């Protein structure tokens, strides 16, 4: 199935066979594809190519994927770009480090093209769903603007990476409703994406650092809610 929008994907891996495999399958699906073989080059290519999605290996020469992701997330133009890590390392610490750097998803090798295409389709579906939701939420001194992915606290504008913004806006849309980690994973990351519950904790911590500690409350043994009490 051809994607409904001409999404641009940057493939970053020092293994030329993997790059060739992904480029072939992605191009067949109608995606526009660019490539890089290390994190430093990925940043340069991204600045010119303006990808919607970046598929990036973790372990690479010159600059690894996590360092590259951190640098990209510091640039306003890439705060909302989907970053999916590709790696043969399945240890939990590597996954947590990836999400802490700003990743949206984490896929272990060997990569199965059909499964990868399914995940990409899930990302594009959620993009369409987000466009249909209420565009502005005003609550507890915050103004959450879905069109610009920006949060305003008084006169101050707070720009969040895409997944942090989606997590905050999801909780704020139903204030005082408690969600388990699993419910947040399913609603924000989606059923087609494999991530661990710890990912939610990492993103909650980072959102609190930026908007304050009081808005999102931990319900011990259950999960989280947007607090208006």
Classified by CATH at the fold level, domain 8-130 comes out as Rossmann fold (3.40.50)
Per-residue pLDDT, 194: 59
Q: 208 with 191: CB under 8 angstroms?
A: no
b/e for 7-40, b at 16 or more Cβ within 10 A? bbbbbbbbeeebbebbbebbeebebebbbbbbbb
Per-residue pLDDT, 126: 63
Per-residue pLDDT, 60: 93
The residue ranges of every structural domain in the chain are 8-130, 133-226
* Maximal C-alpha separation, the chain: 55
Local confidence pLDDT in tens for the 229 residues of the chain: 444 457 899 999 999 999 999 999 999 988 999 999 999 999 999 999 999 999 999 889 999 999 999 999 989 889 878 898 888 765 555 667 777 788 887 788 888 888 888 878 877 766 665 555 557 888 989 999 887 788 999 889 998 888 899 999 999 988 889 999 988 988 888 765 556 777 889 899 999 999 988 899 999 888 999 988 7
CATH number of this structure's domain 133-226: 1.10.10.10
Q: How far is CA 142 from CA 64, 136, 137, 219, in A?
A: 36, 10, 8, 21
User: What is the C-alpha to C-alpha distance for residues 175 and 192, in angstroms, rounded to an integer?
Assistant: 26
**To 5 degrees, how large is the angle CA 194–CA 195–CA 199?**
165
Instruction: Give me the helices (H) in the chain, please.
Output: 16-28, 39-49, 65-73, 92-100, 113-132, 162-173, 181-184, 198-211
């Amino acid at each position: 199935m051809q994607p409904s929008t001409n999404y641009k994907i940057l493939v970053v891996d020092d293994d030329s066979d993997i790059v060739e495999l992904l480029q072939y399958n992605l191009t067949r699906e109608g995606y526009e594809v660019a490539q890089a073989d290390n994190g430093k080059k990925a940043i340069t290519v991204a600045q010119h190519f303006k990808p919607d999605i970046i598929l990036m290996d973790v372990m690479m020469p010159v600059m690894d994927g996590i360092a590259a992701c951190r640098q990209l997330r510091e640039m306003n133009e890439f705060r909302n770009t989907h970053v999916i890590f590709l790696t043969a390392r399945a240890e939990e610490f590597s996954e947590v480090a990836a999400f802490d750097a700003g990743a949206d998803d984490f896929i272990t090798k060997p990569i199965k093209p059909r499964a990868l295409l399914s995940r990409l389709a899930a990302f594009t579906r959620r993009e369409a769903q987000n466009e249909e939701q209420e565009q502005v939420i005003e609550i507890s001194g915050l103004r959450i603007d879905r069109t610009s992915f920006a949060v305003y606290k008084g006169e101050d504008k707070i720009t969040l990476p895409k997944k942090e913004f989606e997590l905050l806006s999801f909780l704020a849309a139903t204030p005082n409703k408690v969600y388990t980690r699993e419910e947040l994973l399913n609603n924000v990351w989606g059923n087609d994406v494999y991530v661990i519950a710890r990912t939610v904790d990492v993103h909650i911590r980072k959102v609190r650092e930026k908007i304050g500690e009081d808005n999102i409350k931990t319900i011990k043994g259950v999960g989280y809610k947007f607090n208006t009490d």
